[in-house]
Amino acid sequence: MAEKERTAIVLLVDGSEEMEAVTVVDVLRRAGIAVTIAGVWDGSCVKCSRNVKICTDAVFTDATQDKSYDIVILPGGLNGSKAFASSVEVGRLLQKQDSENKLIAAICAAPTALKTHNIGKGKRITSYPSMKKDLCEDYEYCEDKVVVDGNLITSRGPATAIDFSLTIIKELLNEEKAKNVANGLLYEGYK
């Protein structure tokens, strides 16, 4: 019997961190994970934090209507993370994902959106260093590159995006697949 295809949704808004978004999408697709890039606001392109434009696969409302994903991923970027935090729709998706004990991943400043939407409080997390003070009271803050606690995966920033992506592969698929993708990337830092 064939294994069920794993699915991921990467949310994007103007101000999202492009390195984190593109790295995650690329690395997960190399592992055979079906990734949907969903623009939270209307429009087919998002202008990221360094003025790189990324065309989305779908608008958030269409991508999430009557569909669930194995993992919801929030790239960082300060303005993008603030937009995720202020979005009622993103909050509903994260709360649904959390209530079903499905994976949620956030990198860089995006863990602040998790806090706003009451996701994973009390769990171990990490973030971009300047976000630490905003998260310490509600989470057990760690300074590792990537932190996994239950259904929550968090990471530090652009330079940790490959480790973050490989950890997502490990959690969704398995360690061997993560190592194979790392080898294909010629990435020696993954353990």
List, by residue number, the catalytic residues: 108
Please name which of 183, 180, 187 lies closest in space to residue 161, comparing C-alpha atoms: 187
With CA atoms as reference, report the closest residue to 86 among 13, 176, 182, 25.
13
Q: Which residues pair with 107 in a beta bridge?
A: 155
Could you give phi then psi for residue 142, rounded to 5 degrees? -125, 160
| 3-state DSSP assignment of residue 165 | helix
Report helix, strand or coil for 26.
Answer: helix
DSSP category for residue 124: E
Cα–Cα distance for residue pair 26/191, rounded to 1 Å? 20
